[in-house]
């Protein structure tokens, strides 16, 4: 009588994950409150494929976006507490700005310094706009000595170098600020508008939100 092979139950546990991305649908259509004529844009951009507001003006402090900012702060803090397990008293936005990309517009691979959490709220998107892509960092000791990249199944977050997420209107994507990300070039004749932001947290009560006010010492306290 031949031996009948039975699949073995294998328990897997990701260790030392390098990143996590959170996607949140807004509690209402904040895009309806947005009017780009309320803002000034930096003239160093070409105004054809891309426009960007001054990063240091913190557009989320504009009266028309106060409700959106309140929702972003609450949602981001919830993500840090429930998923990242970062104990903190208060999350605050350090800067926020508008990106407007037309056909040909893109954003190179980059990350955000001097920040704990970053996010993108999509004000206007259309079917056919490229995904927001996240990129794996490759310390030399994480690469196998024999390259297997071409043999991995596509989309496996444990092995892929790039993961993309759809840019849907009135949806926000949040991620730890150190993760590299990019937007591939737009290929359709429809502009995409998004608001990007960075955030830090307070670990004590009664501390001002202005980064320049007082001495900031961050000791990250994660739940066990």
**Does residue 8 belong to any structural domain of this protein?**
no
Find the farthest-apart pair of alpha carbons in the chain and give their distance in angstroms, rounded: 80
208 pLDDT exceeds 70?
no
- The residues near 116 (Cβ < 8 Å, ≥ 6 apart) are 80, 86, 176, 177, 199, 200, 201, 218
Question: For residue 213, what pLDDT band results from cuts at 50, 70 and 90?
Answer: very low
Q: Among 1-15, 20-34, 152-166, which range has the highest average pLDDT?
A: 20-34
| H-helix or E-strand spanning residue 113 | none
How confident is the prediction for the chain on average, in pLDDT? 85
pLDDT in tens, 43-79: 777 777 889 998 667 999 999 999 999 999 999 999 9
**Does residue 59 belong to any structural domain of this protein?**
yes
**Does residue 191 belong to any structural domain of this protein?**
yes
**Does residue 224 belong to any structural domain of this protein?**
no
Q: Are 181 and 111 in contact (CB under 8 A)?
A: yes
Q: How far apart are CA 183 and CA 181, in angstroms?
A: 7
Tell me the helix, strand and coil percentages in the chain, rounded to 5.
20, 30, 55
Q: How far apart are CA 185 and CA 102, in angstroms?
A: 9
**Does residue 133 belong to any structural domain of this protein?**
yes
Which ranges constitute the DSSP H helices of the chain? 66-79
What is the share, in percent, of the chain residues with pLDDT greater than 70?
A: 83
Q: Which residues pair with 95 in a beta bridge?
A: 198
- Residue 141: per-residue pLDDT: 53
**Does residue 15 belong to any structural domain of this protein?**
no
The number of distinct structural domains making up the chain is 1
- The residues near 111 (Cβ < 8 Å, ≥ 6 apart) are 177, 178, 179, 180, 181
Report the range of poorest mean pLDDT among 12-21, 64-73, 108-117: 12-21
Question: For residue 159, what pLDDT band results from cuts at 50, 70 and 90?
Answer: confident
150 pLDDT exceeds 60?
yes
Alpha-carbon Rg for the chain, nearest whole angstrom, is 20
- Residue 132: per-residue pLDDT: 96
CATH number, domain with residue 119: 2.60.120.620
Q: Are 200 and 90 in contact (CB under 8 A)?
A: no
Domain that holds residue 182: 22-32+39-140+147-202
**Does residue 163 belong to any structural domain of this protein?**
yes
**Does residue 162 belong to any structural domain of this protein?**
yes
């Amino acid at each position: 009588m031949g031996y009948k092979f039975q699949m073995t139950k294998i328990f897997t546990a990701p260790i030392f994950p390098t990143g996590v991305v959170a996607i949140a649908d807004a509690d209402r259509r904040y895009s309806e409150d947005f009017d780009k004529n309320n803002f000034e844009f930096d003239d160093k951009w070409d105004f054809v494929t891309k426009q960007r507001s001054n990063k240091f003006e913190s557009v989320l402090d504009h009266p028309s976006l106060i409700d959106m900012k309140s929702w972003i702060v609450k949602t981001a803090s919830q993500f840090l507490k429930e998923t990242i397990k970062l104990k903190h008293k208060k999350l605050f936005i350090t800067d926020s700005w508008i990106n407007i990309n037309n056909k040909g517009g893109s954003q190179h691979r980059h990350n955000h310094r001097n920040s704990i959490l970053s996010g993108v709220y999509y004000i206007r998107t259309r079917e056919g706009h490229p995904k927001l892509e996240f990129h794996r960092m490759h310390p030399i000791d994480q690469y196998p000595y024999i390259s297997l990249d071409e043999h991995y199944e596509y989309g496996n977050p444990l092995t892929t170098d790039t993961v993309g997420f759809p840019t849907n209107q009135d949806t926000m994507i949040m991620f730890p600020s150190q993760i590299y990300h990019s937007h591939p070039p737009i290929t359709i004749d429809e502009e995409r508008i998004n608001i990007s932001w960075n955030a830090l947290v307070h670990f004590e009560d009664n501390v001002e939100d202005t980064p320049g006010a007082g001495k900031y010492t961050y000791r990250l306290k994660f739940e066990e």
